[in-house]
Amino acid sequence: MPRVANSGSNVDEWCNRSGNGSSTHDLCKWCAGTLERNPHGLDLRPYNGDPVGTEGWSGDVDHPEYAECDYTCEVCGKKLTSRDD
């Protein structure tokens, strides 16, 4: 679950109305585990114009292989590696 998306029926409605996708964030496995226990457990904010989701942040959104890219966890700043895929 390293890349998570803003989720909830209000976000779905916004996406359908606007034609845009919801905001996503890349997380390390440790920070993603925090969200698995509580989808509102981290201070993540939408940035794409979408509303704060009623269901928090969830999902395993498609992402590039972290070992081949220069991504960092948007919460703790750890460089993401293949262990975070």
- Counted domains in the chain: 1
Whether pLDDT at 1 is above 70 = no
Distance CA(39)–CA(73), nearest Å, equals 16
Portion of the chain with pLDDT greater than 70, in percent: 99
pLDDT of residue 53: 92
Coil, strand or helix at 50:
coil
User: How much is the average pLDDT of 29-51?
Assistant: 90
Whole-Å CA distances, 80 to 2, 14, 15, 27, 73: 9, 30, 28, 8, 6
Range of the domain at 50: 3-84
Please enumerate in sequence order all residues whose Cβ is within 8 A of that of 23, keeping only pairs 6 or more positions apart, or say none: 5, 6, 45, 46, 47, 48, 50
- pLDDT band for 68, please (50, 70, 90 cuts): confident
Coil, strand or helix at 31:
helix
User: How much is the average pLDDT of 28-51?
Assistant: 91
